Amino acid sequence: DQQVKQNSPSLSVQEGRISILNCDYTNSMFDYFLWYKKYPAEGPTFLISISSIKDKNEDGRFTVFLNKSAKHLSLHIVPSQPGDSAVYFCAASEYRGSTLGRLYFGRGTQLTVWP
Amino acid sequence: DAGVTQSPTHLIKTRGQQVTLRCSPKSGHDTVSWYQQALGQGPQFIFQYYEEEERQRGNFPDRFSGHQFPNYSSELNVNALLLGDSALYLCASSLAVGQGTEAFFGQGTRLTVV
């Protein structure tokens, strides 16, 4: 049962424009969300995270929005650059005490940024 | 500061054999998790180790076992390999204190079972 879903397998955006990657989850116990970027032949690279007590977190060109009532989060990349072309994974977790628990991943969205 | 390192990077094994994969966590991290990523899928959680004990386990058979050493490094062992075990195996490390911790991944071990 896929508890984290990324329904768009691919997204193509022109350089300089905004990229919006979406993610939905089903488990209301999730309280921490992360986005990872992955290039071929490399492990996932952490991008940005958000706690369920917030609805927005920003880091440079990357902003994550969380809508708990809709169980939906999105990653905005502005402006998009060709180097952003990669597979983006959404992940969710339950904190167990103070420890980050297992991560549940979506299937990923392939972002292509063209010049 | 070295990040998460995994060895080997690639491995080819025959069906029925056993394999051991290794992971050194990011400096200062004390928690190690293992994930399996099949082609076209997101990583699937295998188990997590903290203080040399298995803390959480995903839906993987007992053929998958692990160990964490006092220096926080970890091993993943898979017995009686099946063709379906062919995948990218990822190790992630994190710190078991405080809010806002992230899990950092190694580059993975590509296992091919023939």
pLDDT at position A96:
60
pLDDT at position B97:
66
Query: A31 or B23: whose pLDDT is higher?
Result: B23
Minimum Cα–Cα distance from A54: chain B residue: B100
List the one residue out of B22, B38, B49 whose CA is nearest residue B103: B49
Q: Average pLDDT in the B56-67 region?
A: 96
Chain A residues touching residue B42 (CB < 8 angstroms): 4, 6, 89, 91, 105-108
pLDDT at position A38:
95
B56–A101: do the CB atoms touch at under 8 Å? yes
Helix or strand holding residue A93 (H, E): strand A86-93
* End-to-end CA gap in chain B: 37
Q: Average pLDDT in the B1-30 region?
A: 93
pLDDT at position A98:
59
DSSP label at residue A53: T
* End-to-end CA gap in chain A: 38
pLDDT at position B98:
59
pLDDT at position B100:
53
A34–B55: do the CB atoms touch at under 8 Å? no
SS3 B83: helix
Chain A residues touching residue B4 (CB < 8 angstroms): 43
B105–A43: do the CB atoms touch at under 8 Å? yes
Q: Give chain A's mean pLDDT.
A: 93
Token pair of A55 as six digits = 């609805």
Query: Any residues with CB less than 8 A from the CB of A19 and at least 6 apart, and which?
Result: A11, A13, A75, A76, A77, A78, A80, A84, A111, A113
Helix or strand holding residue B53 (H, E): strand B53-57
Percent of all residues in chain B with a pLDDT value above 70, rounded to a whole number: 94
SS3 A27: coil
Whether B74 shows a pLDDT value over 70: the answer reads yes
pLDDT at position A97:
59
SS3 B50: strand
Ranges in chain A, pLDDT < 50: none
